[in-house]
Amino acid sequence: MPRYRFPEPPARLITPRALVMDRRSVMAGLGAAGLMAGLPGSGRADTLAAEPWPGSATDEITSHEVATGYNNFFEFGTAKDDPARHAHTLRTDPWRITVSGHANAPGEIGIEDILSGFDLEERIYRLRCVEAWSKVIPWIGFPLRDLLARFDPTSDAKYVEFETLYDPAQMPNQTGDDIDWPYREGLRMDEAMHPLTLLAVGMYGEVMPNQNGAPIRLVVPWKYGFKSIKSIVGIRLVSERPVSSWEARAPREYGFYANVNPQVRHPRWHQATERRLHDGGRIATQMFNGYEEQVAHLYDGMDLTENF
Ligand SMILES: Nc1nc2c(c(=O)[nH]1)N[C@H]1C(S)=C(S)[C@@H](COP(=O)(O)O)O[C@H]1N2
Ligand SMILES: [Mo]
């Protein structure tokens, strides 16, 4: 069987040991029954703000308020404040993810097994998310590859396709046609196996707020925000390149790769700068959102203007 091997993420991408005490108390809560009820707000942004993220030593952690109040989650409406207002109808317990397709051991896993089985105490990542705006979030999560390994992908698995829950009773805007529901995303296998491609189950020391994609979502820090699919229930290992929901909706605007690239224009706006949400300042967008050193090799020999 092919075995995927990647180096561990550089230590500077992971929260230092000093925060382990905080993590312990959080994770004790995560493991308990009723884990999705949420934990007492522990607003740790201030403790975390001193740590640099790669590509800049100065950018600050976005406030918890902004990170949970300015969201895209079209299942609950298309305005930035809709998710915070409406996502309370999402039920995240019980929750299961089905992993199917080209795997030797396809099957399901429950969120409780994910929370207890993936070494979360060691895994807080402070990463940037960028679109026309940017946020810096302290995620709790683990590399997607750790989950995929349990299902033993075969060599026919060339891409990974992800699917969000479809249930208009919980996600009211799924009765509309903003997206060809359920929301879908995809990654090439090597992108999916990269150690910075995370499944996040929490942020700011808390379980994932509904509006941010509870109970489990993707975080792909070198790609535009829309690649980071929320509230995942299905993962398929496929041999053909999947079509993401945004690509299906507007193929000229939203390519499959969607790498952060200030040199490639979106047809309706430039992508050279971003509005930093923590202070409203406009800053230059960096190639691969500042993670060039970690990910540029994935695209060696590719024309990123064609594969936008
Ligand atoms: N299921 C689902 N996932 C989604 C979206 C969505 O509408 N539905 N929006 C995407 C977009 S466009 C962005 S920018 C990010 C926003 O994540 P955030 O709200 O945590 O910042 O989630 C992505 N994941
Ligand atoms: Mo987005």
**Domain residue spans in the chain?**
11-299
CA of 17 to the centre of ligand 1 (A): 30
Ligand 2 center to 226 CA (angstroms): 4
Tell me, what's the pLDDT at 59? 67
Task: Supply the residue whose CA is at minimum distance from atom 20 of ligand 1.
Answer: 212
Give me the pLDDT at residue 118, please.
84
pLDDT of residue 122: 59
* Model confidence, pTM: 0.85
Looking at 144-223, list the stretches that DSSP marks H as alpha helix, in order from N- to C-terminal side: 144-151, 189-192
Please give the average per-residue pLDDT across 110-133, as a whole number.
84
Average pLDDT for the chain: 83
Collect all residues with Cβ–Cβ distance below 8 Å to 268 and sequence separation of at least 6. Answer: 253
Task: Report which ligand 1 atom has the smallest distance to the Cα of 74.
Answer: 7
Proximal ligand: closest to the CA of 80: 1
**What pLDDT is attached to residue 262?**
96
What does the pLDDT look like over 170-226, one tens digit per residue? Answer: 999 999 999 999 999 999 999 999 989 999 999 988 889 999 999 999 999 999 999
Q: Ligand 1 pocket, 226 CB below 6 A?
A: yes
Average confidence (pLDDT) over 267-285: 90
Query: How far is the centre of ligand 2, averaged over its atoms, from the C-alpha of 223 (Å)?
Result: 10
CATH topology of domain 11-299: Sulfite Oxidase; Chain A, domain 2 (3.90.420)
For residues 10-37, average pLDDT: 39
Q: What is the rounded CA–CA span in Å between residue 21 and residue 13?
A: 18
Pairing of strands 232-238, 96-101: parallel
Which residue is closest in CA terms to ligand 1's atom 4?
229
Report which of residues 19 and 163 the model is more confident about: 163
* pLDDT of amino acid 263: 96
Distance 106 CA to ligand 2 centre (A): 31
Which residues are CB-neighbours of 180 under 8 A, at least 6 positions away?
245, 248, 249
The whole-number average pLDDT for the span 113-123 is 81
Ligand 1: residue whose CA is nearest its atom 8: 73
pLDDT score at 30: 46
